[in-house]
Structure 1
Amino acid sequence: MASRLKASRRSLVRRAAALAGAATAAAVLTACGGGDSSSESSGHAGPGMGAMSSSPSASARQSGHDAQDVSFAQKMIPHHRQALAMAGLAPSRAGSQQVKDLAAAISKAQDPEINTMTGWLKAWGAKVPDSGASGMAGMPGMDHSGSSVPGMMPDGDMGRLEKLSGDAFDQAFLQMMIGHHEGAVDMARTEKVKGAYGPATAMAASIVTSQSAEIAEMRRMLGRR
């Protein structure tokens, strides 16, 4: 009888120990689980949310446009201004109505593009090229050979064009504008490949298409003379 009581007591002790162990284990698991959950929300979700909330604006600032986009706008603005200056001579100096019409089309297309690119540069906090007096001789951003921007006319050629009229003006204008457009097309092709800003690469694609067509037309006009 005594032995049975001792055995019973030992069994109860083992059960109590087992229950205590189970309870302890459960408490430990609960604490661990709560800690993991808290760690996830504060250690992972917290920084994750912080990164998510800050990365879109950071990404827009950093990858919305790149250095190529800035360079494209800063070079194309004075390039367009010179084209407008050349086109502005046509109404009073050109002998051919076709040349006058072409000059008007160039002005109509490129003037709004200057305004658009100027807006981009201001939004990006980048320098907008100085306008200068007329975009012709001594244009800011140009060296005396006009080589700083592809297709830009040297001061001497621009000055010579101002003195011509009639058929002589028409031929010089077409020849110079072909070279001018070729420079714009080259810059635009580079922007299409290397630019990151969608509107800028879209404008570049439009310039390639429209000015390539005008180059072909000007060559035909010269061939008919």
Structure 2
Amino acid sequence: MRNSRTPAHRAAVSAATVAAALLLAACGGDGSGGGSTAAPGATSSSAGSGVTAGAHNAQDVSFAQGMIPHHRQALEMARLAAGRASSARVEDLASRIEKAQEPEIRTMSGWLTSWGEDVPESSDSTAQSMPGMDHSGSAMPGMMDGSDMAALAKASGKDFDAMFLAMMVDHHRGAVDMATTEKSKGVYAPATSLAGDIVAAQTAEITEMNKLLGKG
């Protein structure tokens, strides 16, 4: 996230026992976590053939702890569309983002709880208190800072539409980067599966948003 850019400029830019694992698979909805023999908190340092089914590593923890606040900010942005957007297509996109990402937050929170790891606290602000993150949230790619969010909240009509789309393109690109890292370095199958879903869905939405911005 390049915090040096102003909101106006953004508007012009493209923008872890068996029972535990079965429960997580049910929450995640992907059916890939069943049959785990790893106790909560079990870790593995590589994704090789020696990884115990259901094991997770530091990357999996980092992915969940980072993606939860990232998703929360996307929801914050999406909820602003009602009453501000002038385009029905922008409102529909915002609604789809909210419906997709709320269940993913619950799934990732469940993983962290079962692993004995901290679940990021919910906050109404964009500054999420995470290890290694400054108060602007800039340590995670695509995160908006407080001034970005304030400007979006004040916008309406076509100005809101353009700002929302440009900011969400940047936000989605950040999420795709994070999910791509999880796919290559994570070992917990439900997490890498979710990461793949995020890459596919948000890449498609980036294409959709760029078309709405007249860039597709």
Which residue is equivalent to 2:96? 105
Which residue is equivalent to 2:16? none
The separation in 2 between residues aligned to 1:140 and 1:164, in whole angstroms, is 27
Q: Note if 1:61 corresponds to 2:50.
A: no
Cα pair 1:146 1:155 within 8 Å, conserved: no
Cα pair 1:131 1:140 within 8 Å, conserved: no
Q: Note if 1:216 corresponds to 2:176.
A: no
Shift of 1:57: 4.4
The separation in 2 between residues aligned to 1:60 and 1:82, in whole angstroms, is 27
C-alpha RMSD of matched pairs (Å): 1.9
Shift of 1:150: 1.0
Which residue is equivalent to 2:34? none
Q: Note if 1:147 corresponds to 2:147.
A: no
Q: Which moved more, 1:191-200 or 1:138-147?
A: 138-147
Q: Which runs of 5+ in 1 are unaligned?
A: 1-55
Shift of 1:59: 11
Q: Note if 1:197 corresponds to 2:188.
A: yes
Cα pair 1:72 1:187 within 8 Å, conserved: yes
Describe the shift of the 1:81–1:58 C-alpha distance in structure 2 as closer, same or farther (beyond 3 A). closer
1:85 counterpart (68, 76, 86):
76
- Structure (1 or 2) with the larger CA radius of gyration: 1
User: Given residue 139 of structure 1, which amino acid in structure 2 is its aligned partner?
Assistant: Q
Percent identity (aligned): 59
The separation in 1 between residues aligned to 2:139 and 2:115, in whole angstroms, is 22
TM-score, normalised on structure 2? 0.74
1:164 counterpart (130, 150, 155):
155
TM-score, normalised on structure 1? 0.71
The separation in 1 between residues aligned to 2:69 and 2:104, in whole angstroms, is 11
The separation in 1 between residues aligned to 2:152 and 2:103, in whole angstroms, is 25
Shift of 1:58: 6.8
Which residue is equivalent to 1:51? none
Q: Note if 1:123 corresponds to 2:114.
A: yes
Q: Note if 1:138 corresponds to 2:127.
A: yes
The separation in 2 between residues aligned to 1:220 and 1:204, in whole angstroms, is 24
Q: Determine which structure has greater relative contact order: mean sequence separation of CA pairs < 8 Å that are 6+ residues apart, divided by chain length.
A: 2
Q: Counterpart of 1:65 in 2: which secondary structure? A: coil
Q: Note if 1:178 corresponds to 2:159.
A: no
User: Given residue 175 of structure 1, which amino acid in structure 2 is its aligned partner?
Assistant: A
Describe the shift of the 1:137–1:178 C-alpha distance in structure 2 as closer, same or farther (beyond 3 A). same
The separation in 2 between residues aligned to 1:139 and 1:59, in whole angstroms, is 25
1:48-76: CA deviation from partner (whole Å, max 9, x where unpaired): xxxxxxxx547982330000000000000
1:175-198: CA deviation from partner (whole Å, max 9, x where unpaired): 000000000000000000000000
List structure 1 segments (4+ residues) > 6 angstroms apart after TM superposition. Answer: none
Greater fraction helix = 1
The separation in 1 between residues aligned to 2:171 and 2:59, in whole angstroms, is 20
Shift of 1:220: 0.3
